């Protein structure tokens, strides 16, 4: 009998939306408990037919145990892939929510003052363009672009004076 087990320490069963889940199917106890009765069957009688039937069922039991071991290995790989995928999904969701939260924080300040509260400024894209200012509380200003055809070192000294 298979039972799906959810590890609550991983953050899935406690109602957390972003915790990566750790799932496993717990069927190893039943397989181990069935190993001896299915592979070592006693003959019902002392005759040759009973011994042959017991040997046939024992061979089928051994084949089942070998197949069960292969299925358990395949299952372990599948569960590992599932857990990796859930971790990647949780990381992507966290990054998405993080950006939405940052946009919500910066929206009012950006509208009122023209610059964000938190975050780095954008770099200049055309020659001679200054970088955008950084956030008021946290963040660096963007890098400006040097003027075209000018001595870059002279232009830097001139702007820093």
Confidence (pLDDT) at 118: 83
| Coil vs helix vs strand at 31 | helix
- Does 71 reside within a domain? yes
- Does 135 reside within a domain? no
- Does 149 reside within a domain? no
pLDDT in 10s for each residue of the chain, 161 residues: 444 445 545 444 434 444 444 555 555 556 666 556 666 677 777 888 888 888 898 899 889 989 999 999 999 999 999 999 998 999 888 888 888 888 888 888 888 888 888 888 888 888 878 888 887 787 887 787 777 765 555 555 555 44
- Does 10 reside within a domain? yes
Total count of domains within the chain: 1
- Does 69 reside within a domain? yes
User: 0.75 exceeded by the pTM?
Assistant: no
Confidence (pLDDT) at 77: 94
**For residue 21, what are the domain limits?**
4-113
- Does 129 reside within a domain? no
- Does 60 reside within a domain? yes
Confidence (pLDDT) at 4: 46
- Does 49 reside within a domain? yes
């Amino acid at each position: 009998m298979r039972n799906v087990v959810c590890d609550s320490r991983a953050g899935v069963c406690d109602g957390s939306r972003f915790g990566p889940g750790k799932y496993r199917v717990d069927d190893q106890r039943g397989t181990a408990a069935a190993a001896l009765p299915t592979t070592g069957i006693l003959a019902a009688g002392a005759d040759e037919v009973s011994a042959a039937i017991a040997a046939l069922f024992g061979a089928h039991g051994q084949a089942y145990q070998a197949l069960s071991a292969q299925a358990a290995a395949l299952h372990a790989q599948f569960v590992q892939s599932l857990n990796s995928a859930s971790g990647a999904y949780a990381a992507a969701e966290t990054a998405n929510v993080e950006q939405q939260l940052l946009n919500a924080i910066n929206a009012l300040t950006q509208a009122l003052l023209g610059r964000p509260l938190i975050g780095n400024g954008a770099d200049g894209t055309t020659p001679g363009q200054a970088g955008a200012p950084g956030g008021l509380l946290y963040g660096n200003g963007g890098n400006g672009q040097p003027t075209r055809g000018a001595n870059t070192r002279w232009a830097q000294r001139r702007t820093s004076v």
